[in-house]
Amino acid sequence: MKKITLAFITMLSLLFVACDSKDATSTENTKIIKVGTSGGYYPFTYFENDKLQGFEIDVWNAIGEKLNSEIEFKTSKFSGLFGMLETSKIDTISNQITMTDKRIEKYNFATPYVYDGAQIIVHNETAEISSLDDLKGKKLGVGLGTNYADIVRAYDKNNEIEIITYEGNGFQQDVKLKRIDAYIEDRTSAVEAIKKGNLPLKLVGEPIKVLVNSFPFLKNEKSSELLNDVNKAIDQLRADGTLKNISMKWFNTDITKK
């Protein structure tokens, strides 16, 4: 009987072995800005070899340098980012957030730092789709929680386009495999993804909407202060050419001005 209890105790203690503390509390000397990002949006914010990098990361590191603040990136699924902002787990979101009317109503946005377009992307071999009109009766993929679905719905009053939402960017794979007919994403990101993934996809038509992107902040006093600082930093980065340089580095074109 002793052996049995002994074995039981060993098993229980084994259960606790791998429990380790995850939260390292940092010293509060420099101000820390918590930036939420998906880390799953190549080439704006992505992981490669387990390292978070991309256009957004460079922009925020530059802002941090100007403000003499430490930037702490918190990664989460895109659809969870706004929830984290609401509950003040993060100060702002950096993930190519488009300034839509609904969002402007709810959040204070920083000065826009990217101007882009919502783009329809189809398989190389698809010839019959070149505009939203052609998508009627077709399957269209969009990211869950992104505003592309809203843009399409506003246009497609009779619900003739079948919208399929994705966590992450499985829509690229699905168009490649012809499981769906097209997807909508911002132009710059799509170009880079197709290049990097060597995907059999192409952009069609003009962008269906100009997208103005920036960082959303909660409408409260503490956030307004930070927002002012960030705005000043963005102005300086634009003036001294840093923003343009970051854009050239990632996209070979300047997406930071109109």
Partner 1 sequence: MNTFDIDYTLGIFPILLKYVDITLSMAFISTAIALIIAVLIAIIKTFNTKVLSQIADVYISFFRGTPLLVQLFLLYYGLPQIFPSFSSLDAYTASILGLSLHFSAYMAEAIRGAISSIEKGQFEAAESLGMSQTQTFIYIILPQAIRVAIPSLMNNFIDLLKSTSLAFTLGVPEIMAKAQLEASSSFKYFESFLAVALVYWALVVSFGYLQKLLEKKLNKAYSK
Concatenated DSSP letters for 124-135?
TT--S-SSGGGG
Residue 258 within binding range of partner 1, rule CB under 8 A: no
Residue 48 within binding range of partner 1, rule CB under 8 A: yes
37, 30 in Cβ contact below 8 A?
A: no
Residue 139: both structure tokens together: 């399957």
Encoded one letter per residue, x for contact with partner 1 by CB under 8 A and - for no contact, window 16-35 reads xxxxx-x-------------
Residue 11 within binding range of partner 1, rule CB under 8 A: yes
Residue 244: both structure tokens together: 């343009």
Task: Count each helix (H run) and each strand (E run) in the chain, helices first.
Answer: 9, 13
Out of 5, 27, 158, 159, the only residue in the binding site for partner 1 (CB under 8 A) is 5
Residue 76 within binding range of partner 1, rule CB under 8 A: yes
Residue 167 within binding range of partner 1, rule CB under 8 A: yes
Residue 49 within binding range of partner 1, rule CB under 8 A: yes
The closest alpha carbon to 215, from 199, 197, 233, 203, belongs to 233
Residue 127 within binding range of partner 1, rule CB under 8 A: no
Write out the H or E segment, with its range, that includes residue 93: strand 92-93
Residue 74 DSSP one-character state: E
Phi and psi for 17 in degrees, rounded to 5? -60, -50
Encoded one letter per residue, x for contact with partner 1 by CB under 8 A and - for no contact, window 175-214 reads ------------------x--xxxx---------------
Residues that bind partner 1 (CB under 8 A): 1, 3-5, 7-8, 11-12, 14-20, 22, 39-43, 46-50, 75-77, 80, 83, 86-87, 89, 167-169, 172-173, 193, 196-199
